[in-house]
Amino acid sequence: MSLVVPDYSRQELKFVTHEVNYPIIIKWLKISKTNFKREYENRLVNNIYFDSHEYEAFKSNIYGNSSRLKIRLRWYGLDLLKNNYRLEIKFKRNIFGWKEKFTIKNLVLDDNWKLIIENIKKSLPLNIKLLFEKNQSPILINQYEREYFKSFNKKLRLTIDKNQKVYDQRFSEYPNMSKKSFFHNHIVVEFKFEKNFRNLINECISSFPLRLSRNSKYINSFRSVTGI
């Protein structure tokens, strides 16, 4: 994959807080000069995170490598049999990030992992298939409820993720969606914007009631299932 940052890359600013502060966030959204409005209805987001046998994606994030990636399979809602699955590769180059998405056809998540992985690869172009084969170990599934907001000028997006759950997959022959790992019930707020709108976001978050924090759902979930 190219190391060139594409024009459609974006930045994300993340804020993490305890669930008791949810009303404070909603109140700020109502009075913010940026005038955020709900973009569409809440959705249940599910992700299977894949990594190499040596956990290279985890290590790259922990070490703060300027160039790194994460691979996940994403779908929405509770139905595992009738869903639109897509493989997402999240690239990060310094402060900029972007995603490549690939629709996965004829996938059944009640198969064993070997069959699931083989079916995923059938839907991928050759270069992405080779990349996936280096990072095809299923590590964990995380799940959360997401709320979506967009600014009145359409240039800033904000999401709120809550009710997070994590399921360890490392030692399961089949996807484990029943035995949860312990996970702190935090809320994650993300501001998302194109790289040309940094001035707008600075003005917006100047009144935001939470402190900026470094956060990765994969890293936090990985630590939850491994105890690292």
Structural domain contains residue 116: yes
Structural domain contains residue 111: yes
| pLDDT score of 190 | 96
Structural domain contains residue 4: no
Number of structural domains (the chain) is 1
Q: Is the pLDDT of residue 155 over 90?
A: yes
Structural domain contains residue 124: yes
CA distance 49 to 52: 10
The domain of 201 spans 10-226
**pLDDT band for position 79 (50/70/90)?**
confident
Backbone angle region of 58, left / alpha / beta, with phi > 0 → left and psi within -120 to 50 → alpha: alpha
Structural domain contains residue 2: no
Q: Is the pLDDT of residue 129 over 80?
A: yes
**Tens digits of per-residue pLDDT, 156-198?**
999 999 999 999 999 999 999 999 999 888 999 999 998 788 8
Indicate the SS3 state at residue 124: coil
**DSSP for residue 225:** H
Structural domain contains residue 130: yes
**pTM of this structure:** 0.92
User: What whole-number percentage of the chain has pLDDT above 90?
Assistant: 74
CA distance 203 to 222: 34
Structural domain contains residue 5: no
* In the block, residue with structure tokens 């029943």: 178
**pLDDT band for position 82 (50/70/90)?**
low
| pLDDT score of 81 | 65
**Mean pLDDT, the chain, as a whole number?**
92
Angle at 70 between CA 69 and CA 73, to 5 degrees: 145
| pLDDT score of 179 | 93
- Picking from 227, 214, 166, 154, the residue whose alpha carbon sits closest to that of residue 13 is 214
| pLDDT score of 3 | 61
Residue 71 sits in a domain whose CATH number is 3.20.100.30
Q: Is the pLDDT of residue 2 over 60?
A: no
| pLDDT score of 130 | 96
**Tens digits of per-residue pLDDT, 4-42?**
788 778 899 999 999 999 999 999 999 999 999 999 999
Structural domain contains residue 165: yes
